[in-house]
Amino acid sequence: MTEYILAIDQGTTSTKALLIDPSLNVVAIRGYELPQIYPRPGWVEHDPNAILKITYDSIKDVIRKANIDPHKIAAIGITNQRETTVLWEKKTGRPVYHAIVWQCKRTTNLVEKLKAQGYEKLFRNSTGLVLDPYFSATKIMWLLNTITGLRSKSQKGEIAFGTVDSWLLWHLTGGVSHATDVSNASRTLLFNIKQLVWDDHLLKVTNIPRYIMPEVKPTSGVFGYTKGLGFLPDNIPITSMVGDQQSALFGQACFEAGTVKATYGTGSFVLFNTSDRLIHSRHGLLTTIAWQIKNKVTYALEGSAMISGAAVQWARDGLGIISRSEDIEALASSVPDSGGVVFVPSLSGLGAPWWEPDAKGIITGITRGTNKAHIARAILEGIALQEYTLLEAMKQDTGQKLSSLKVDGGASKDNLLMQFQADILNIAVIRPKNIETTSLGAAMLAGLSAGIWKDIKELKNVWKEDKTFSPSMPVAQRRGFLTRWEKAIKRALVL
């Protein structure tokens, strides 16, 4: 009897459910967009109940589409947008406020206060992260400081904190399991990534009660069992939970030290596998836990660009130069080059290696001859040029020269973008047969725990490549792009 893995991929802008067979074929996929909430400029929220609803609807629909008996689901894997913060009542399961999304900048003042108090090095040494509104800790602080009575309830053990994986797990298990995995815990700014425990000193500094924190488990293992859902049988094991970018690294079969992937989603994220080496970056990158399988922890260096595919959405919704996101490639291809136009996609601040939350997006090099096609092409080039900066920092931190980059995410379907990425990096860019690698990673980790695959070697044999993009840009042209990019970045940083 064929058994399936149900992968739940809860992202920033949508939720998808996939049924995956032991050959890593996606049998069926269904999903829904997640409404974004912008209460004020720079603030971003999600409705946790909306996340739950579209997750449930996606699961129901994918089972219906595949026309399978849900009893054939051997295991469930969850991958999720990271850092996004939810607090809820343990007794009722109701959220106390909207989820505060990783992109949200409302806690900038709290971050600056912690820096002024001299805590930046303490956080960096323990968590591998920089002090930034991006991460969960100051989001929790804001909620506890803002909502009347919440701190008192938290200190009494009545409130639970979780990133979105924990929120989903709680409800999928009928409120039995309050847990997360090491990859998600490592994104909170509260987890000691060497000792693999919540850091009591950091909890004290941030005045966050230990009682609200979830149990931390290995990435591949049993987190709980389904209970009381109706659309799924009880007792299906949930055998992986993993942050979306770490999941994509695993889904790309980047199992060895020195392998690297880039995901082009709402933001863009580059992860470099450093195996058991915990490398503290000297160039503005993050040190994070990639995954833990049994007792073996794998680390990674990460570079984050806050805006990637979201820049294409902005071209569609803000500028109105395309009607669908997928139309940008044709528009950009209608001109031979960007005509000297450079776009810095810092529409939500700049992430690594600059960490400037207040940086603004800019377009430079506009002339009377500039048209919407030049702008479209510059947007795609700006996405790729961010990756160049991140990978250069990784080479400096690790001392390793890259030979290839594996790519995934929605924008990786854009051949023009991928060819330019290969050209500007001057290395091969490899796209997998299935670009849903975030979902595949969660499924692969779940299947390992459930015994679908016996080990990582077996998984590597079923990973399939779609296309390799080889660099072909002349050296002088490449240097010209990089020179213009560096000048544009300097301007974005002073706006």
Question: What DSSP letter does each residue of 267-295 carry, written as one string?
Answer: SEEEEEEEET--PPPSSSPEEEEEEEETT
What is the pLDDT at residue 340?
Answer: 92
488: in domain: no
User: What total of structural domains would you count in the chain?
Assistant: 1
276: in domain: no
262: in domain: no
201: in domain: yes
202: in domain: yes
What is the pLDDT at residue 61?
Answer: 96
25: in domain: yes
Which CATH number characterizes residue 9's domain?
Answer: 3.30.420.40
* Cβ-Cβ contacts under 8 Å for 168 (sequence gap 6 or more): 8, 10, 51, 52, 55, 78, 80
What is the pLDDT at residue 353?
Answer: 83
| Cβ count near 337 (within 10 Å) | 13
What is the pLDDT at residue 470?
Answer: 96
E runs forming strands in 433-477: 465-469
Describe the chain by its helix, strand, coil percentages, rounded to 5.
40, 25, 35
Structure tokens at 1: 């009897």
Block means of pLDDT (10 residues each) for the chain, 495 residues, are: 88 93 91 93 94 97 94 96 96 96 92 95 93 94 95 94 98 97 97 96 96 96 96 96 94 91 87 92 90 95 85 90 91 93 87 80 92 95 93 90 88 92 95 86 94 85 86 94 92 78
40: in domain: yes
Q: Comparing C-alpha atoms, which of 453, 425, 436 is closest to residue 252?
A: 436
Confidence (pTM): 0.87
59: in domain: yes
Is residue 71 within 8 Å of residue 231, measured between CB atoms? Answer: no
Domain with 15 in it: 4-245
